[in-house]
Structure 1
Amino acid sequence: MYKEPISVDLLFETSWEVCNKIGGIYTVLSTKAKTLQNLYKDKTIFIGPDVWTKENPSPYFVESRVLLKEWKAQANLPEGVSIRVGRWNIPGKPIVVLVKFDGMYSVKDEFYGRMWQLYGVDSLHAYGDYDEGCAFAHASGLVIESYCDYIGIRDKKVIAHFDEWTTGMGLLYVKDRLPSVGTIFTTHATCIGRSICGNGKPLYDYLRGYNGDQMAMELNMQSKHSLEKAAANAADCFTTVSDITAMECEQLLERRPLVTPNGFEQNFVPSKGKFAPARDAARSNLLNVASSLTGCKFSDDTFIVATSGRCEYRNKGIDLYLDALARLRDLNVKRQVIAFVMVPAWAKEPRKDLESALALRRKQPLADPVITHILNNPTEDPINCRIHEIGFANTKTDRIKVIYVPSYLNGDDGIFNSTYYDLLIGMDATVFPSYYEPWGYTPLESIAFGVPTITTTLSGFGQWILTSEDNTFSESGVNVIARGDFNYDEVADRIARSLEYLVGLDSSDMAIIRSRAMNTASLAAWSYFIKYYVEAFAIALEAAQTRTSGR
């Protein structure tokens, strides 16, 4: 058990993804919470946006009338800012404050002016979700200030931790109003780095030639970049999740961060006695949907592979995954392969004909048997277009079948009606050939469930594997493929060859690889990685103490 090296009286952590499952940051926070609770029992308070209604409540938040009720009764927050207090329904069950922030919009111009004067944050070019993120962050800062005033923080060790640009204004507010509070800012991906990649520009070979401010002007990202850069440089401790993103931060935000790798909690994985039944149930579900969609019968030893994640066609390497599957068709594959693309897109609804086929257990090929849900924009969706462009039709004679699942897998998608984790355990392999991936939870989740994975050197997780484990399936359950700006075809070929190798293994060899994969995942447990956060806490507290002592 990790022993606490420093004491903390109060730790706030603010994120748009507290009790709000959108992407990888939710996984970071929700899996880290239990370890933080072990270290600082109920001294950690997570702050998230109250974007929920009675008709659409958060499935992760359990409200309490008792928690922090004395403070809540006299919080004295501005009109249009309200709070609900409860616990996050995850392992560790930490305290959560959800904040409604509508009242911040009426004062945003004055607030933006002050942030410009104090920190040079340029909000003039704001658009899109900038105002929403800043309103939430501002309100969160007010909540932190209110609670600190209530408990009295003189001579107490208090830390306020903020994740991503969406909370940057909260950090700057706390820095201005509460100088005795140590501040931490974590960027999980820089705004400019993600935008450079999303616009098809080469990031890595030319990184040293990029200037963050200049690129922000070119890509119309001035306000978000300005805010992110100000928060990174104003924070007492600036962190990011991997060495590869640390280099990006140093170049584009002009400050070298402390690296705090992302861990994972094994309690998301079924126990030994429940593992095999859960895997069997997942495979049955996956094969049943595939059979109902394509009209094909699949044997129990059908090889099932998948990719998943946010709908970032190039950044997440979805393009590379599909092209690798096209190459796999030309190789000596002797088993049926079903390749899933589990990437939420602009889906309208589950396919009615597929729902009917599943209900009636009818196994006849449906029209367009490559997709499980109806898209609002089928002719503009890049995944759907590429699947058809490279000729995947899922006929009975096709050894490689591709199935696109453009829906969030949260248990009520209408087709699988299982969560992503409930389906992941049934896979034989996963592929995450990311071009831009600061950490890479998806491959780590995969090996935690005993599913070998293929990723690239451009992911933080891939870099961690290269520094900690042997880069082979038989030793680590992971194959990290070298990817750069200009070797796309080579990487596609190597992914195809890696899949061919896995498809050709017998069950005993696969069992060894699955075991090695789970062992590798255990090395990334939060009990090992939390030490990096504790170092960040110590840096922030020392800076705050130095500031308030006048030294």
Structure 2
Amino acid sequence: MMMIELLKPDYIFESSWEVCNKVGGIYTVLSTRAKTLQDAFPDKIFFIGPDVWSGKENPLFSEDENCLKDWCAYARESDGLKIRVGRWNIPGSPITILVDFTPFYAQKNDIYGQAWCDFQVDSLHAYGDYDEASMFAYAAGKVVESFYRHCLSKKDRVVYHANEWMTGLGALYLRKHVPEIATIFTTHATSIGRSIAGNNKPLYDYLFAYNGDQMAGELNMQSKHSIEKQTAHHVDCFTTVSEITNNECRELLDKSADVVLMNGFEDDFVPKGNTFVARRKKARQAMLNLANKLLGTKLTDETLIVGTSGRYEFKNKGINVYLESLNRLTRDKNLKRDVLAFINVPGWVGDPREDLIARLKSKEQFTTPLEVPFITHWLHNMNHDQVLDMLKYLNMSNAPESKVKVIFVPCYLDGNDGIWNMHYYDLILGYDLSVYPSYYEPWGYTPLESIAFHVPTVTTDLAGFGLWVNSLKGRFSELADGVKVIHRTDYNYSEVADVIKDTVSDFSALSAAEIKKIRKNAAAIAEKALWKHFIQYYYEAYDIALRNAEKRLAL
């Protein structure tokens, strides 16, 4: 059988709200993939992001006034675009264009009216971040149009890749105004699916019965749902990140993905050999020292350190079931080691605790806990925080006699948190086990990051990552494989809590040799998710988009 060679683009433009703007998981997708694409298309891939750092120093962006100099002058003078061009400070250092979208607010109503006439995009019910995202999307489309008109021609194969509903308006603008450009749209999570799950409605058992448009009206999500749905239907190639999210797209957007673009990873920042051992030791010392100073305990390196992290979506990320499992673990007779469990989830953080800082600076060994011995930073909403409320409800006290201690670190671990002053990746490798029992998780970078650092993880089959691991094994993956995948449904919360409890308890009884083997298995799974394996799906998406654009233009 003859293989058809995939069409390759000459130029790729990719836009996202998270280009040079680290706010969520899409940043990880783009920033870890960039080097692979830059190697394949050197300086022919351009990332477009919002210039939200205007007037302030952006540590992720290095402006270069000589980069694309002629076009920049044209774009600013002839097209009136406020842009800065330079390099994204990540591996591969791709060319990046940051655009100030605020001038387009003056045309907002006309832009929305035209989007309705052209593509039936309903912006009438917009609120919150819809206007900001849409003006950026429109500005990004204008940037690509300007570059195409000034620098390229019909003989160039050009792809525009828009990520998430926030960039949809730009993809539709190019579809109309520069039809020669092939368009790709990736939804990393359907806005309506996330909303159904976040509003405590059963998503999975009733997915077949939900009508996306109807639910958008019920949950006041009409505008975000509309731009997402219309973009999915009108681009040359529609993609998503996992089979579980593809099911949502099929049911809620009435459109299946043309390709599933699974989220890969790079391991170039995972330390090797003696450096890894030294950093793991440093991370464990930092976490144990913090716990002992906060709690007035004498936890040793024999302590089993467990953690969860991610966005503060209490139900969707499974933070609630994690806490429930830890509470049950306090009564588990089979638990062989003390457990120190962290919740590294940014909340409405105030200041780092001065009393804790003072203790951390002291050489003294403390025997009494600080007030509120659960948290490292004060919150603005101490009386209405879901983690603290549940700890109180479960009557978890971090008492000296309890074998399970829980600490909430409610801030971004960016190296400047005021307590640890260490980066997340420099701490995660100190865990013995991580737990991410997600209810709604289109992919799941946190468990993938965990195993990249050789830390075995617990996740669920409602996470795209968990499903992928099961597909590798041809069965439910178990703790011995390095990733424990728990079956989760709309209604089996209690069973999930028990399985997590049992998994941690079982792990506490393992020998050093057994743990070493599990850690090795975890790292082996992570290797299979490197971008060098997953990038092929992007090449398929480029091919589909380019071929569909050719068909359109031939009509």
Q: TM-score, normalised by structure 2?
A: 0.96
**Residue 101 of structure 1: CA displacement?**
0.8
Partner in structure 1 of residue 340 of structure 2: 338
**Residue 392 of structure 1: CA displacement?**
2.0
In the alignment, which of 383, 386, 391 is matched to residue 382 of structure 1?
386
**Residue 506 of structure 1: CA displacement?**
1.7
CA distance in 1, matches of 2:62, 2:281: 32
Partner in structure 2 of residue 219 of structure 1: 219
Cα deviations by residue, 1:363-393 (Å, 9 ceiling, x for unpaired) = 4321111000000001111111112221222
CA distance in 2, matches of 1:313, 1:225: 23
Query: Are residues 208 and 371 of structure 1, via their aligned partners in 2, closer, same or farther at CA, if it must alter by over 3 Å?
Result: same
**Residue 77 of structure 1: CA displacement?**
6.6
Which amino acid in structure 2 is aligned with residue 310 of structure 1? R
Instruction: Say which SS state the counterpart of residue 266 (structure 1) adopts.
Output: coil
CA distance in 1, matches of 2:112, 2:494: 47
Residues 411 and 419 in structure 1, CA contact (< 8 A), matched pair in contact too: yes
Which amino acid in structure 2 is aligned with residue 525 of structure 1? L
Residues 456 and 482 in structure 2, CA contact (< 8 A), matched pair in contact too: yes
Which amino acid in structure 2 is aligned with residue 334 of structure 1? K
State whether structure 2 residue 550 is matched by structure 1 residue 545.
yes
Matches within 5 A, 1:130-529: 130-257=130-257, 258-331=259-332, 332-364=334-366, 365-469=369-473, 471-473=476-478, 475-529=480-534
CA distance in 2, matches of 1:473, 1:269: 24
* Number of equivalenced pairs: 546
Query: Are residues 474 and 225 of structure 1, via their aligned partners in 2, closer, same or farther at CA, if it must alter by over 3 Å?
Result: closer
**Residue 197 of structure 1: CA displacement?**
0.4
Instruction: Say which SS state the counterpart of residue 92 (structure 1) adopts.
Output: coil
CA distance in 1, matches of 2:477, 2:119: 48
Instruction: Say which SS state the counterpart of residue 384 (structure 2) adopts.
Output: coil
CA distance in 1, matches of 2:306, 2:18: 28
Instruction: Say which SS state the counterpart of residue 371 (structure 1) adopts.
Output: coil
Which ranges of structure 2 fall in alignment gaps of 5 or more residues? none
Instruction: Say which SS state the counterpart of residue 382 (structure 2) adopts.
Output: coil
Which amino acid in structure 1 is aligned with residue 91 of structure 2? P
State whether structure 2 residue 109 is matched by structure 1 residue 109.
yes
CA distance in 1, matches of 2:198, 2:49: 27
Partner in structure 2 of residue 530 of structure 1: 535
Cα deviations by residue, 1:135-155 (Å, 9 ceiling, x for unpaired) = 100111110111111112211
Instruction: Say which SS state the counterpart of residue 410 (structure 1) adopts.
Output: coil
CA distance in 2, matches of 1:77, 1:524: 44
CA distance in 1, matches of 2:77, 2:169: 17
CA distance in 1, matches of 2:364, 2:548: 66
**Residue 73 of structure 1: CA displacement?**
1.2
Residues 292 and 361 in structure 1, CA contact (< 8 A), matched pair in contact too: no
Residues 81 and 104 in structure 1, CA contact (< 8 A), matched pair in contact too: no
**Residue 63 of structure 1: CA displacement?**
1.3
**Residue 75 of structure 1: CA displacement?**
0.8
Instruction: Say which SS state the counterpart of residue 256 (structure 2) adopts.
Output: coil
Which amino acid in structure 1 is aligned with residue 321 of structure 2? L
**Residue 301 of structure 1: CA displacement?**
1.6
CA distance in 2, matches of 1:141, 1:114: 14
Cα deviations by residue, 1:240-286 (Å, 9 ceiling, x for unpaired) = 00000001001100110021110000112112231111111111111
Which amino acid in structure 1 is aligned with residue 64 of structure 2? S
Cα deviations by residue, 1:449-504 (Å, 9 ceiling, x for unpaired) = 00000000100000001100264456530000000011110111011001111111
Partner in structure 1 of residue 84 of structure 2: 84
Which ranges of structure 1 fall in alignment gaps of 5 or more residues? none
Q: Segments of 4+ in structure 1 off by > 6 A?
A: 77-80
CA distance in 1, matches of 2:51, 2:140: 11
Percent identity over the alignment is 52
Which amino acid in structure 1 is aligned with residue 336 of structure 2? K
Instruction: Say which SS state the counterpart of residue 489 (structure 1) adopts.
Output: helix
CA distance in 1, matches of 2:497, 2:419: 30
State whether structure 2 residue 118 is matched by structure 1 residue 118.
yes
CA distance in 2, matches of 1:296, 1:244: 43
Instruction: Say which SS state the counterpart of residue 267 (structure 1) adopts.
Output: coil
CA distance in 2, matches of 1:414, 1:530: 38
CA distance in 2, matches of 1:532, 1:265: 16
CA distance in 2, matches of 1:77, 1:24: 36
Residues 80 and 103 in structure 1, CA contact (< 8 A), matched pair in contact too: no
Residues 469 and 477 in structure 2, CA contact (< 8 A), matched pair in contact too: no
Residues 249 and 256 in structure 1, CA contact (< 8 A), matched pair in contact too: yes
CA distance in 1, matches of 2:410, 2:498: 26
CA distance in 1, matches of 2:54, 2:278: 37
Instruction: Tell me which moved more, 273-282 or 357-366.
Output: 357-366
Instruction: Say which SS state the counterpart of residue 75 (structure 2) adopts.
Output: coil
Partner in structure 2 of residue 12 of structure 1: 13
**Residue 544 of structure 1: CA displacement?**
1.2
CA distance in 2, matches of 1:90, 1:70: 25
Which amino acid in structure 2 is aligned with residue 234 of structure 1? H
Which amino acid in structure 2 is aligned with residue 28 of structure 1? V
